[in-house]
Amino acid sequence: MAPQFDKASTPEKPRLLDEVRNRIRSNHYSLRTEQAYAHWIKRYIYFHDKRHPVEMGAAEVEAFLTSLAVERQVAAATQKQALAALLFLYREVLELDLPWLDGITRAKQRVRVPVVLTQTEVKRLLDLMEGTPGLMARLLYGSGMRLMEGVRLRVKDIDFERHEITVHEGKGGKDRRTMLPTSLVEPLQAHLVRVRALFDGDRAQDLPGVQMPDALARKYPDAASSWGWFWVFPSVSLSVDPRSDIRRRHHAHEQVLQRAIKRAVQAAGIAKPATTHTLRHSFATHLLEGGYDIRTVQELLGHADVSTTMIYTHVLNKGGRGVVSPLDR
């Protein structure tokens, strides 16, 4: 009889998904990666009627991934994530190597032009946003940060004298520096005065410090309770850390800003499907429109390859790559 994926054969042996989570954490992967990998591994097991992965191999992986592309018609990035999860399962957890999976039907990779707002549209949008969500939106547009880079920002990462923001553990685990807009210096400093009152209240109640990167939490055990490591945009309420089960103050939930931008887009009458990431696209495009070198924009965005940044040249200035239509002549 085949072993079930969530039933241990002995009391000491952890369940398969627990093994997956433990290995992910030992590799210092993010919580989102952990959740995504566990999701795809579970779907893979259920797809094959709860057979244990050790009894399956390349053929079953190919069947599952092909089904995602053909029947579910998932995006190429989604199928790629599912494949990464299964390769992690077999190589890192089960310590089995699969042959190259040539039989997989790949989801078609679509090349899409990013949604970009004009500078007038950005102004209309931001004029309708107030309070902390408005400050967060202005910071994302003014610095080119991704949504999660913004909400995870720490006090120590902002250098007001140099007008610089350091982004730690960005996409791909890379650090980089980007600009702090001059117009946001005073609003951010005023915001941090209010945040400091929240921080002092937490310390007065002797609450656990904020979540820290794994290695630093062990190396500097007192840093979690220091002002420098506190969130720039903390949550107004406490929550339980999903990994440690410690009740502490986390950063603001990303949906707070996402919902605020959605409301502002509708109120501004903007027909484009603008999201928080649209502000990053607009940041890059408006810099290139302003004559800045594409390599500079690449560095500010944290792109590993300039070809990724080149996509913003497709939406510069005018439609049709800036070519004047013969009708307009």
Catalytic residue among 146, 250, 281, 286: 146
Known active-site residue 174: no
* Whole-number Å distance between alpha carbons of 273 and 258: 12
List the structure tokens of 188: 């951010």
Q: Do the beta carbons of residue 29 and residue 172 sit within 8 Å?
A: no
Known active-site residue 110: no
Order of all β-strands in the sheet with 164-167: 158-159, 164-167, 176-179
Known active-site residue 251: no
* Whole-number Å distance between alpha carbons of 154 and 165: 10
User: CB under 8 Å to 25, separation ≥6 — which residues?
Assistant: 34, 214, 243
Catalytic residue among 21, 154, 249, 280: 280
Known active-site residue 286: no
Known active-site residue 312: yes
* Whole-number Å distance between alpha carbons of 187 and 184: 5
The rounded Cα 131 to chain-centroid distance in angstroms is 23
Known active-site residue 171: yes
- DSSP H helices, the chain, are 16-26, 31-47, 58-70, 76-88, 119-127, 131-143, 147-151, 185-204, 214-219, 254-267, 276-289, 294-301, 306-309
CA R_g for the chain: 23
User: CB under 8 Å to 34, separation ≥6 — which residues?
Assistant: 21, 24, 25
Q: How far is CA 165 from CA 2, 180, 279, in A?
A: 53, 6, 17
Catalytic residue among 42, 171, 203, 248: 171
CA dihedral sign, ordered 217, 229, 283, 126: positive
Catalytic residue among 23, 177, 277, 314: 277
User: CB under 8 Å to 177, separation ≥6 — which residues?
Assistant: 164, 165, 166, 167
Residues labelled as active-site residues: 146, 171, 277, 280, 303, 312
